Structure 1
Amino acid sequence: MAFDRSLVRAAKFAVHQLIEQQAAQRPEAVAIEFEQQQMSYGELNRRANQLAHHLQSVGVGPGRLVSLCVERSLEMFVALLGVLKSGGTYIPPRSGLPNDRLEFMMEDSQSAVLLTHRHLDEQLSTTPALQRVYLDRDAETIAQYSDANLNVELGDDDRAYIIYTSGSTGKPKGVQIKHSALVNLLRSMQREPGIEQSDTLLAMTTISFDLAVPDLYLPLIAGAKIRLISRAVATNPAQLSAVLSEPEITFVQATPATWRMVLAAGWKGNPNLKILCGGEALNRALANQLLDRAASLWHMYGPTETTVWSMLHKVTAGNDMVPLGRPIANTQIYLLENQARRQDDPLMMVPVGVAGELYIGGDGVALGYLNRDELNADRFIPDTFSGEPGAYLYKTGDLARYRPDGNLEFIGRGDNQVKIRGYRVELGDVETAIAQHPSVRETAVLAKEDATGNKRLVAYVVARSEVDQVDNLAEAYGDQIEQWENVWSNAYAQSTEADPTFNSNGWNDSFTGKPMPEDEVQIWVDQTVDRILDLKPKRILEIGCGMGLLLFRIAPECEAYVGTDISAEGIENIQRQLDRDPEKWSHVQVAQAAAHELAAFAPGSFDTVIINTVIQYFPSINYLVDVIQQLSEFVTAGGHIFIGDVRNLNLLETFHTGVQYGFAPDSLTTEALRVRVQQKIEQEKELVIRPDFFEALKQHIPSITHVDTHLKRGHASNELIRFRSDVTLCIKQPISTVQELPAYLWEETSLDNLYQMMSGGSIDCLKITDVPDSRIATEVHITEWLAHNDENMIVRDLREATYPGIRYAHPEDFWQLGDEMGYRINVGWPASGIPGCYDVVIQRCNNASAIAFQSDVPELQPWSNYANNPFKFNALNQFVPQLRNFLAEILPSHMMPSYFVVLDTLPLTPMVKSIAVPCPNRRKTVPPWPQTMWHLRLH
């Protein structure tokens, strides 16, 4: 099916000649405003004429190309019109483009002249040696020329401008637009959507983007006014919203991404405003929001190759998809059979309702790509439908279908081309650039929608082996370990504690950013000491003894104590205290050593090994396994390895959500909060472990016969208490495992019920599962809300929201109940893995049997599944910035990926490149824990 919008063509005029007519009729009327400056139609025309005469004097004329590198200013319009009046063709490479891309455009186009400002010379220093005309430096010379209109004869195929767009080969391609195509666009838009002398158009788009073409010329051919704004204002949501709200502003065109930005900033609308929205798909939700805030809304569609816009549609309220609409003047639209289906058969139209490839014909079709004959043959097809000799159709690559009402409906792309902020981007172009980096083995680039509906480029990269396999290089562990050594040595060196045996320096709370109160650190130390002393230790090896917080409190109860630490500062401090009373501390020895650098102790040298607040600084889970394997050989039968302050991988997202939520201003959007949380998760420098890792470790190290996990005790609200646990590995101990442990879901019981059961003596051993932890209720609630709601609101509204109806319990309530009733209480992480819950095992104190939390033997997984990989992150943390810097030299900003995801491999289907990876900033749910507290409420 085809749609033809051919109209009687007006007399032939170039755009600058139409503007000359307005200047003659209304010379004193304001043509352009910029910041505090104005320029009338008469002044604009006179100055453009003077520049045109000067350009002709240096050889510019029909067929000659002028590269235009100018800043947004009144002079920018003088430059544009000056080139057109001289008969030349302008090329507008954007200020700030990478040098390589700028050089390519100028060399590819063989520009004769570079028209610019003197102060831009430095960033243009590597461009070809063109003749340069400076608008500022040469101003006096230019002003000497005549200000009379020029009479330059232009042929049908003379070009007005060339705009470079993304190319799939890795090089941009120049689209050649002729004068007649430009005038046809402007005349059509003057009639529909329509612009009057009384209108003021807000011009916000960079001139290197063809969306700017109507901004630059449409008001000027109609005698209207242009309000030009700077890039700083155009990219600032609050400032742009304020300008859009001014009653004088009546006409504006922008991409959906820009409209989403101002709506997110709270823009209330402007009843005088005619909105044109194009450059990428306009969804119905956004359309309805804009309709409520403006006088009218028009959906615009068209590729650069058919002169900006080829179709338009006046949008009305509704629930249906916003169509592409109907053609502008002297434009024909054809939906033809997909090339793969028709192969070498003639072009055939598709019927209504059937998807076809969209081809565009008519006056707006470009002259083709500059110096790209092969590409022209593929994309510009002889028009066999119109009957006009020499006419061509442009193959857009878009797929669409006709609706019964005659409007076209966009379906998608038939290739790898996408629109990002209105810019057309060939994904292959970005992939080609990334693949040039020497550390990249494979890459794929996709366009993903974020929660606001904006498309973002996501680069999935497989690094070469020397980058991505660093966690297998033992010698590389030393770099990260040395970093932590420096951190703690600096913290110890800054100590000003009055008690040298109690140094809380370096203990900062992530939720406040401030040092933890000393009394909270004291409680944490006391409870840790109590748990270790409950193991009845006699011969102790402590890994990471620091400044002796535990050593000076536990060593007096032991026969022998060996302490090691990576920090020489910490060891020296301990030794100074030991030397003050050699007799008292004669059984204590300390030495500087990393966890993997232990002396060859004889098997069974110790009955207790302490690794407290240490393993989170290990470089990888494999390193931890190796250390525990070695330590287990030093422990005698019946002994223990106490691992304190273990961070929980199941709560990593909850933890970072809580921290970022606490610091977030009320005005922050929830989508921005999601981004902050995801970034912090990806940037986590510490080793964070799944709780079931230690049960799995039993299968790898047979001498570990039992694992006890205990949540931290206390009422303090710091992260040590709320997010961490202590793990005790029992070495070669006889264990009496209860195979059928009676168990209740927390929903089925209560503390009052347990009190009654304990009082009646009916409990010997009992397990309570999935108790929601009141200590982290807020963090869990916010995490779940962000994961299950796509609504984008502000944090203040989130803070005012009510909590769901969940019955929480504080772990201390169970411990206190046990103390009161004579029961041993073990509060550990839930076997279900549900974040924000815990399991409780209740056992009579006279029952000495150890109770295993899991009677089932879990399937052993690769160690990497049980933890994050901070070591790999640290290595890749340098790789991604290096890659960004590399790409900044060869890609424009709109082609720079927003996110880089480093993968081990690219998962491709056998038939197509379909990357099976999640979009960044989306919550990842990883087996074996698909459940959440939301599921608990549903069931």
Structure 2
Amino acid sequence: MIDDMLSDLKRHPWVADARWDATRNTIVVRPNAAAIAVRPEPGPLLAEHLAHWQHVYEFVYTAGELRHGDDLDLSGWRASDTGAPFPREHMIEWIDHAVDLVLRDKPGVVLEVGCGSGLLVHRIRHQVRSYLGLDVAEPAVDRLRAQRLPGVRVLRASAHELASAPVTDSLRTMADATASPHRVTPDCIVLNSVTQCFPNERYLTAVLDDALDLVSPGGTVVVGDNRNLANAPDYARWLESARHPGIPAEELTTQAASRLAADEELLCDPRVFARIARRHRRDVRVACYAKPLGADTELTRYRYDVVFTVDSPPPGPCRIRAWADLPGTSVERLRTLATETAQSPTLITGIPNALLDGEAPDAVTPAQLAGAVPAGWAVLLDSADAHRLAVGPPEHHTGLEAVSDTGLTDRCNDPFTRFLRRRLPEVLTDHLEQHIPATPAPRIAVSEELTAP
């Protein structure tokens, strides 16, 4: 009977191979590459994972429980440690920071992937010629379309459809409407608070490859609000400590590890973006920004922003100064930063992040740095785990640890594989029960050696 089951499973379109493991009394299956592929289009198992997030956000936008108005829908924005909504002022600061990244290089045409309820478009549309937003959540798309914002067009589309004909046709139509028939590519492509819903690194890479291909020369791709794999253990311990005050150290370690292993969202080491930039066919420069928000929340501590700049002239020489070499106390060093703009381009490195390394005597917060730096400077990551910061012109961010992929092994976690190991056995068990109903299906497990396209 096992042979009949194996033969039947091998004919399933999602299965590349099936074998009997007698030591575990388990059928071990290897998924078909086409079922988990990203390109040329998502395979059915990957598509199901993407559909899960689509349904989540359709529910969130339909409920609209934290909707303050057309330009401030904060539905779904709740703190992980308390479950309470993030303070409105904190979220407005978060939005303003994202808008600053988008508008830094004064784009004319902006394309946003995952525009949601329009938190960004309402604040950037007056400063650009045209804006195209993409989102998979039908309620969000319908709501933005109904507002009929001048110069704004919204499509229902997924991130992997960024380079599809409907998107490029819309860009061309918008260019014609603004009497710029030769500008059919965006100056800035934005993915803000989107990557956490991606299934794996392969999908992330495919989407960003499309964005880097599509953006205009000299343009930017802003990948904002990424959850950080490099400091994810810190996050898990912080969250468990907040939810269970006084928890014993050993139990805290165990629960934090379990939480991290079970995380359903994609977490990315900042250096994965450097790898994507370096392997791309175009000349791509990458900078990783800290969140310079005033409040101490998970958004400030454990998230960061990435800006790719494509086919732009090299920034020229830049001197490097260590934070520890600046004279005086931390407060005096902050005052010193304002005078650095009179010197040649300078990057101040090795600044302890007080939110994550509070015991360092010369530590400061990203917000303190943001309030002290001269115009044109930014608060950047000097280490992948954000324990060290840097400040300076972001175009000189190359060479720091946060954008070096040397020796990097785990660049992202893999929520899709965890989903696959649960979902595929469910589907195949149902399949056997339908095709061989007289015999209970044995346990089915997914092979440790997955077939990658």
Give the TM bin, normalised by the shorter chain.
Answer: 0.7 to 0.9
2:74 counterpart residue number: 504
User: Does residue 387 of structure 2 align to residue 837 of structure 1?
Assistant: yes
Tell me the amino acid that sits aligned with residue 839 of structure 1: L
SS at match of 1:636: coil
Kindly state the Cα deviation for residue 711 of structure 1 after the two structures are TM-superposed.
Answer: 0.9
Tell me the amino acid that sits aligned with residue 596 of structure 1: H
1:438 counterpart residue number: 27
1:770 counterpart residue number: 350
User: Does residue 295 of structure 2 align to residue 743 of structure 1?
Assistant: no
Tell me the amino acid that sits aligned with residue 279 of structure 2: H
Equivalent in 131, 148, 161 of residue 561 of structure 1: 131
2:297 counterpart residue number: 718
Tell me how far apart the structure 1 counterparts of residues 375 and 226 of structure 2 sit (CA, whole Å): 25
Tell me how far apart the structure 1 counterparts of residues 376 and 250 of structure 2 sit (CA, whole Å): 45
Kindly state the Cα deviation for residue 873 of structure 1 after the two structures are TM-superposed.
Answer: 1.6
CA contact (8 A) 2:347 2:396 kept: no
Question: C-alpha deviations, 1:138-164, integer Å up to 9, x for none?
Answer: xxxxxxxxxxxxxxxxxxxxxxxxxxx
Tell me how far apart the structure 1 counterparts of residues 60 and 270 of structure 2 sit (CA, whole Å): 29
Q: Give 5+ residue unaligned stretches, structure 1.
A: 1-431, 440-463, 579-584, 779-803, 844-848, 883-899, 906-939
2:273 counterpart residue number: 694
CA contact (8 A) 1:507 1:515 kept: yes
Between 1 and 2, higher relative CO (CA 8 Å, sep ≥ 6) is seen in 2
CA contact (8 A) 2:50 2:199 kept: yes
Tell me how far apart the structure 2 counterparts of residues 704 and 574 of structure 1 sit (CA, whole Å): 35
Tell me how far apart the structure 1 counterparts of residues 389 and 234 of structure 2 sit (CA, whole Å): 18
Tell me how far apart the structure 2 counterparts of residues 596 and 504 of structure 1 sit (CA, whole Å): 25
Tell me how far apart the structure 1 counterparts of residues 206 and 446 of structure 2 sit (CA, whole Å): 29
SS at match of 1:650: coil
SS at match of 1:606: coil
- Aligned counterparts, 1:585-734, within 5 A: 585-598=149-162, 599-600=164-165, 601=168, 605-666=185-246, 668-734=247-313
CA 1:680/1:718 → structure 2, altered by over 3 Å: closer, same or farther?
same
1:538 counterpart residue number: 108
User: Does residue 75 of structure 2 align to residue 493 of structure 1?
Assistant: no
SS at match of 2:50: helix
Tell me the amino acid that sits aligned with residue 27 of structure 2: P
Kindly state the Cα deviation for residue 880 of structure 1 after the two structures are TM-superposed.
Answer: 9.5
1:854 counterpart residue number: 399
2:378 counterpart residue number: 826
Question: C-alpha deviations, 1:849-890, integer Å up to 9, x for none?
Answer: 93133179956789x7321111112222457999xxxxxxxx
TM-score (norm 2): 0.77
Q: Percent identity?
A: 22
1:344 counterpart residue number: none
Tell me the amino acid that sits aligned with residue 109 of structure 2: R
Question: C-alpha deviations, 1:880-936, integer Å up to 9, x for none?
Answer: 999xxxxxxxxxxxxxxxxx998549xxxxxxxxxxxxxxxxxxxxxxxxxxxxxxx
CA 1:840/1:903 → structure 2, altered by over 3 Å: closer, same or farther?
same
CA 1:716/1:631 → structure 2, altered by over 3 Å: closer, same or farther?
same
Tell me the amino acid that sits aligned with residue 211 of structure 2: L
Equivalent in 845, 867, 871 of residue 416 of structure 2: 871
Kindly state the Cα deviation for residue 836 of structure 1 after the two structures are TM-superposed.
Answer: 4.6
CA 1:850/1:504 → structure 2, altered by over 3 Å: closer, same or farther?
same
CA 1:669/1:753 → structure 2, altered by over 3 Å: closer, same or farther?
closer
Tell me the amino acid that sits aligned with residue 380 of structure 2: G
Tell me how far apart the structure 2 counterparts of residues 880 and 764 of structure 1 sit (CA, whole Å): 61
CA contact (8 A) 2:284 2:310 kept: yes
1:817 counterpart residue number: 372
Question: C-alpha deviations, 1:524-576, integer Å up to 9, x for none?
Answer: 11222122222212111110010111112211222111111010011011112
Kindly state the Cα deviation for residue 742 of structure 1 after the two structures are TM-superposed.
Answer: 2.2
Tell me how far apart the structure 2 counterparts of residues 720 and 511 of structure 1 sit (CA, whole Å): 12
Tell me the amino acid that sits aligned with residue 866 of structure 1: R
CA contact (8 A) 1:825 1:840 kept: no
1:477 counterpart residue number: 46
Tell me how far apart the structure 2 counterparts of residues 759 and 505 of structure 1 sit (CA, whole Å): 42
CA 1:731/1:747 → structure 2, altered by over 3 Å: closer, same or farther?
same
Tell me the amino acid that sits aligned with residue 275 of structure 2: A
CA 1:775/1:515 → structure 2, altered by over 3 Å: closer, same or farther?
same
Kindly state the Cα deviation for residue 757 of structure 1 after the two structures are TM-superposed.
Answer: 7.2
TM-score (norm 1): 0.39
CA contact (8 A) 1:823 1:842 kept: no
Tell me the amino acid that sits aligned with residue 421 of structure 2: L
Tell me how far apart the structure 1 counterparts of residues 337 and 258 of structure 2 sit (CA, whole Å): 47
CA contact (8 A) 1:467 1:875 kept: no
CA contact (8 A) 2:110 2:132 kept: yes
CA contact (8 A) 2:201 2:412 kept: yes
Tell me the amino acid that sits aligned with residue 546 of structure 1: G
Coordinate RMSD, CA, aligned: 3.3
- Aligned counterparts, 1:275-294, within 5 A: none
CA 1:757/1:487 → structure 2, altered by over 3 Å: closer, same or farther?
closer
Kindly state the Cα deviation for residue 490 of structure 1 after the two structures are TM-superposed.
Answer: 0.5
Tell me how far apart the structure 2 counterparts of residues 805 and 709 of structure 1 sit (CA, whole Å): 22
Kindly state the Cα deviation for residue 472 of structure 1 after the two structures are TM-superposed.
Answer: 3.9
Tell me the amino acid that sits aligned with residue 851 of structure 1: H
Instruction: Kindly tell me the number of residue pairs found equivalent between the two proteins.
Output: 390
1:346 counterpart residue number: none
CA 1:711/1:859 → structure 2, altered by over 3 Å: closer, same or farther?
closer
Tell me how far apart the structure 2 counterparts of residues 604 and 500 of structure 1 sit (CA, whole Å): 28
SS at match of 1:680: helix
2:17 counterpart residue number: none
Tell me the amino acid that sits aligned with residue 670 of structure 1: A
- Aligned counterparts, 1:262-281, within 5 A: none
Tell me how far apart the structure 1 counterparts of residues 235 and 109 of structure 2 sit (CA, whole Å): 36
Tell me how far apart the structure 2 counterparts of residues 606 and 853 of structure 1 sit (CA, whole Å): 24
CA contact (8 A) 2:338 2:372 kept: no
Which has the higher Rg, Structure 1 or Structure 2? 1
2:178 counterpart residue number: none
Tell me the amino acid that sits aligned with residue 379 of structure 2: V
Kindly state the Cα deviation for residue 694 of structure 1 after the two structures are TM-superposed.
Answer: 1.8
Kindly state the Cα deviation for residue 484 of structure 1 after the two structures are TM-superposed.
Answer: 0.5
Kindly state the Cα deviation for residue 468 of structure 1 after the two structures are TM-superposed.
Answer: 10
CA 1:747/1:480 → structure 2, altered by over 3 Å: closer, same or farther?
farther
CA 1:757/1:673 → structure 2, altered by over 3 Å: closer, same or farther?
closer
CA contact (8 A) 1:826 1:842 kept: yes
Tell me the amino acid that sits aligned with residue 387 of structure 2: C
Kindly state the Cα deviation for residue 470 of structure 1 after the two structures are TM-superposed.
Answer: 6.5
Question: Which structure has the highest helix share of the two?
Answer: 2
Tell me the amino acid that sits aligned with residue 736 of structure 1: P
CA contact (8 A) 2:369 2:391 kept: no
SS at match of 1:653: helix
- Comparing 613-622 and 515-524, the one that deviates more: 515-524
Tell me the amino acid that sits aligned with residue 199 of structure 2: P
Tell me how far apart the structure 2 counterparts of residues 688 and 851 of structure 1 sit (CA, whole Å): 25
SS at match of 1:865: coil
SS at match of 1:725: strand
CA contact (8 A) 1:604 1:633 kept: no
Tell me how far apart the structure 2 counterparts of residues 644 and 836 of structure 1 sit (CA, whole Å): 15
Question: C-alpha deviations, 1:452-489, integer Å up to 9, x for none?
Answer: xxxxxxxxxxxx42299965463122111110011111
CA 1:505/1:575 → structure 2, altered by over 3 Å: closer, same or farther?
same
SS at match of 2:216: strand
Tell me the amino acid that sits aligned with residue 624 of structure 1: L
